[in-house]
C-alpha cells in the first residue's frame, strides 16, 4: 500500500447525529481539526512515505473527510459505497465521480444494499472480513466475494460504539491483527480465532479501544494510530512495528480517527 485517498477537512463538523459518538452540542474546534488532519498527513508523507491523493471537499458534506467510506478499491476496480443514512448518501456521487475521473472501473451495488466501503470490509491478502448489522448489509458480501474471488467472513458488530469494522478490527501487514474482541459476539470471536492464530491476535484494552486504537493505518511495518494508546503501541512495537501516534480527538467527536480519514488505493 503506497497510495491513500484523503479529503481535506474544509467542511468537517458535526451537523447530524448518526452514531453514538456524534453530539450536535459537542462542537468541533475547526481550526484544531484542520491542524490535526495536517499533522496526520505529514506523518503519512514524511514518516511513512505514502503518496496522498486529495479529493476536493464539498460544502455541506462534513463527513466526506472520512474517505475510508468511499468504497473499496481492488486493483483498478472501485466498488462505491451505499450509505445507510441519507445524511451520507449525498457523498456517494462525489466518491463515484472521483473514481471515474481517475480511471477506475466503477461497480455499484443495488440500491438499499448498504455497504460502507473499507469501513466495513478489511482483511488479509487471502481472507477478508466484513462487518455488518450496524451499517453494511450482510447481503453485500456474497456479491463482493463472487466479484473478487475472495473469502469474506461476515462479523456481526454488536456494540453501537464500534459501528464500522475499522473501529475495532485492524489487520496488519505481517499477518497480525489488532482488534477489540467484545465488539463481536462469541460466533464472531470464534470465527476470527479460526483464521488468526493466538500469537498473531493483539487484543486492545477497552479504554484504548474507546480511543479508537484499532482505527489505525498500517503501511509496511509502520502503524499510524490515534495518540493516547500506550498499551497498543507497546504490543505493536513488540511485534516489530514502528508506531506513529497522532492526536485526532477532534475527529473522534464524529466517531472517526486515522483509518477513517484514509482509503487505501493500492
Partner 1 sequence: MSLHQETVLLSGHIIDSLLLAKVLDTILMMGGTFDLEDVRIGKTREEPSRARIAIQAGSKTLLDDILKAIQPHGAAIEREADCRFESAPADGIFPDDFYATTHLPTQIRIHGRWVDVDRIEMDLGILVDEQASVVRAVPMGTVRRGERIVIGRDGVRIIPLQRPRERDVFGFMDSQVSAERPHGHVIADIAARMHQLRERHRQGQAQSNVLLAGGPAIIHAGGREALAWLIEEGFVHLLFCGNALAAHDMEADLYGTSLGYGLTAGRAVPHGHEHHLRTINRIRAIGSIEQAVASGVVKQGIMAACVRQRVPVVMAGTIRDDGPLPGVITDSVRAQDAMRAVIPGVGLALLVASTLHSIATGNLLPATVPTVCVDVNPSVPTKLADRGSFQAVGLVMDAASFLSELARLLGRPV
Tell me which stretch binds partner 1 (CB under 8 A): 10-18, 32-40, 143-151, 229-237. Answer: 143-151
Q: How far is the CB of 219 from partner 1 (least distance, A)?
A: 27
Task: Return the residue of 90, 133, 161, 200 that touches partner 1, per CB under 8 A.
Answer: 133
Q: Indicate the helix (H) or strand (E) that contains 251.
A: helix 249-252
Tell me which stretch binds partner 1 (CB under 8 A): 144-152, 162-170, 205-213, 246-254. Answer: 144-152
- Number of residues in contact with partner 1 under rule CB under 8 A: 25
Residues 219-258 that bind partner 1 (CB under 8 A): none
Question: What are the residue numbers of the active site?
Answer: 164, 260
Residues 6 or more apart whose CB falls under 8 angstroms from that of 70 comprise: 5, 78, 80, 81, 91, 95, 98, 99, 117, 118, 263
Q: Rounded CA gap, 232 and 202, in Å? A: 8
Residue 149 touching partner 1 (CB under 8 A): yes
Residues 158-197 that bind partner 1 (CB under 8 A): 185, 187-188, 190-191, 194-195
Q: How far is the CB of 229 from partner 1 (least distance, A)?
A: 28
Tell me which stretch binds partner 1 (CB under 8 A): 136-144, 175-183, 202-210, 242-250. Answer: 136-144
N-term to C-term CA, the chain: 5
Contact by Cβ (8 Å): 216, 241:
no
Going by DSSP bridges, is the β-strand pair 3-6/263-264 parallel, antiparallel, or unpaired? antiparallel
String of DSSP letters for 201-231: EEEPPHHHHTTTTTS-EEETTEEEEESS-HH
CB < 8 Å & 24+ apart, contacts of 186-189:
187/156, 188/155, 188/156, 188/158
Instruction: Please identify, using beta-carbon distances, which residue of 137 and 250 lies nearer to partner 1.
Output: 137
Interface residues toward partner 1, by CB under 8 A: 126-127, 132-133, 138-139, 141-142, 145-146, 149-156, 185, 187-188, 190-191, 194-195
Amino acid at each position: 500500500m503506497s497510495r491513500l485517498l484523503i479529503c481535506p477537512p474544509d467542511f468537517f463538523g458535526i451537523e447530524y447525529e448518526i452514531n453514538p459518538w456524534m453530539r450536535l452540542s459537542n462542537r468541533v474546534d475547526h481550526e484544531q481539526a484542520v491542524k490535526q488532519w495536517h499533522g496526520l498527513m505529514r506523518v503519512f508523507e514524511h514518516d511513512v512515505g505514502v503518496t496522498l491523493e486529495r479529493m476536493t471537499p464539498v460544502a455541506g458534506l462534513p463527513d466526506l473527510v472520512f474517505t475510508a467510506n468511499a468504497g473499496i478499491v481492488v486493483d483498478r476496480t472501485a466498488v462505491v459505497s451505499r450509505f445507510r443514512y441519507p445524511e451520507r448518501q449525498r457523498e456517494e456521487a462525489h466518491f463515484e465521480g472521483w473514481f471515474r475521473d481517475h480511471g477506475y472501473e466503477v461497480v455499484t451495488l443495488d440500491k438499499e444494499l448498504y455497504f460502507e466501503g473499507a469501513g466495513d470490509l478489511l482483511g488479509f491478502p487471502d481472507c477478508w472480513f466484513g462487518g455488518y448489522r450496524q451499517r453494511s448489509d450482510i447481503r453485500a458480501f456474497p456479491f463482493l466475494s463472487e466479484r473478487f474471488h475472495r473469502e469474506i467472513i461476515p462479523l456481526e458488530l454488536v456494540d453501537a460504539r464500534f459501528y464500522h469494522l475499522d473501529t475495532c478490527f485492524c489487520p496488519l501487514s505481517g499477518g497480525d491483527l489488532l482488534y477489540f474482541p467484545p465488539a463481536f459476539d462469541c460466533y464472531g470471536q470464534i470465527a476470527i480465532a479460526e483464521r488468526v492464530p493466538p500469537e498473531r491476535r493483539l487484543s486492545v484494552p477497552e479504554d484504548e479501544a474507546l480511543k479508537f486504537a484499532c482505527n489505525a493505518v498500517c503501511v509496511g511495518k509502520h502503524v499510524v494510530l490515534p495518540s493516547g494508546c500506550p498499551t497498543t503501541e507497546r504490543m505493536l512495537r513488540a511485534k516489530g512495528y514502528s508506531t506513529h501516534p497522532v492526536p485526532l480527538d477532534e475527529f473522534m467527536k464524529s466517531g472517526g480517527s486515522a483509518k477513517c480519514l484514509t482509503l487505501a488505493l493500492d
